[in-house]
Amino acid sequence: MILLLGSSSDHVFPRLLAELGRSGHSFAVVDEDHAARYRIDRDGDAWRIRGDRCDGTRPVKAIFVRHAVARTLDPDVIVPMSALQADLNRMLLFASCSVINRPSKAFSNYSKAYQLGLLAAVGFDVPRTLVTNIPEEALRFHEECEGRTIFKGASNVMSFAQVWKAEHFERVRLLPSCPTQFQEFVAGADYRVHIVGEEAFVTRLEASNEDYRRSALADGEQIKAEPAELPYEVIERCIRLTHQLGLIVGGIDFKEAADGRLVALELNPYPQFTFYEGRSGQRITQAIVAHLVSTEVARTNVLA
């Protein structure tokens, strides 16, 4: 049996459920949006998930996890969800079956400047980047980049990349209150490479905004997304980095400048692949389910 851990209000969750349903494989779910329904018990070497339709007896042979994100500051939501996720993470640390992806391996994109170092270390070109809380440093960087700079969050807390425009000079004085990441602006097409085990899905995206997510999510614009190809060595590096980090699935973002320069921006350990496959028609969900099924273990210490 395959176990899904996540949020029923997330786009990935229902797509995976539908695909699992089509595949005919048995599965169970832990819907973290209803965290109070579940409890995780340690029973010798076994971990038993009980609650909802989980009775703690059925062997779990592979796990897909994409934790819910609390989109509220309401403690009545956050506290039980955090407690359940902490219990699940502890279980996943000891789970003897395949896990896509283990949370303990999925922290690297918390710090984007740190992750850029990882991307550079495997041979990718990366944009010139500055993280600072000093206004003068930001201004110097902007000038050295000939006034073509974007800024965005330094962590993985949701924020859109924005081009530095005239009206932003005034805001630079706020930097001492919160460090910010500045990057040379590489104009061009976006690529998202999804890695699933040894498989790669390359999607090319075009949008009017510098951050295509803003075009699609905030501005409600249509973006163009289509299957594409990138050189073999790029794909090989994507697979290598994903595996080096201890991940099975990853989503790596690139920008391709008009002169052909390809820069890596970040690796997302919990990519929202449904956003891409819904537009490009690539069968990423199917590949993930196939991977889960093909890596099912004979003996497991997780029961649901």
Partner 1 sequence: MILSCGTTNDRLLRELWTLSGEAAWSIEHMEERELFESCAFALERSANRTRGFLVVRGRRFDLRKFEGVILRLRQAWWPSDEFDLQDQVFVYHETMASWFALLDSMKCPIVNRFGLGWWLHDLAYPLELRTRLAHAVALPVSPAATDYVPQGERHWPTARGASDDVESIYRAGGRLLPAPGCGRDLLARLSKCGDAFSAWEEETGIYLSRIDFDRAGGLCVKAVEAFPLLEEEPDDLVSGIARALLQAIRPRREVGA
Residues near partner 1, by CB under 8 A: 42, 73, 82, 86, 89-90, 92-94, 103-104, 107-108, 110-114, 116-117, 120, 124-134, 137, 141, 153-157, 159, 176-181
In the complex, the smallest distance separating the C-beta of residue 42 from partner 1, rounded to whole angstroms, is 5
Give 268 or 282: the residue with its C-beta nearer to partner 1. 268
In the complex, the smallest distance separating the C-beta of residue 157 from partner 1, rounded to whole angstroms, is 5
Sequence-distant (6+) residues with CB within 8 A of 214 are: 160, 161
3-state helix, strand, coil split of the chain in percent (to 5) is 40, 30, 35
Reported residue count of the chain is 304
Give 46 or 217: the residue with its C-beta nearer to partner 1. 46
Q: Which two tokens stand for residue 42?
A: 């340690």
Give 38 or 124: the residue with its C-beta nearer to partner 1. 124
Give 34 or 128: the residue with its C-beta nearer to partner 1. 128
In the complex, the smallest distance separating the C-beta of residue 161 from partner 1, rounded to whole angstroms, is 14
In the complex, the smallest distance separating the C-beta of residue 82 from partner 1, rounded to whole angstroms, is 6
Give 18 or 174: the residue with its C-beta nearer to partner 1. 174
In the complex, the smallest distance separating the C-beta of residue 264 from partner 1, rounded to whole angstroms, is 9
161-173 residues labelled b (16+ CB within 10 A) or e (exposed):
beebeeeeeeebe
Q: Which of helix, strand or coil describes residue 85?
A: helix
CA distance 104 to 99: 11
Strand ranges in 80-211 using DSSP code E only, listed in sequence order: 98-100, 129-132, 149-152, 162-163, 180-184, 189-196, 199-206
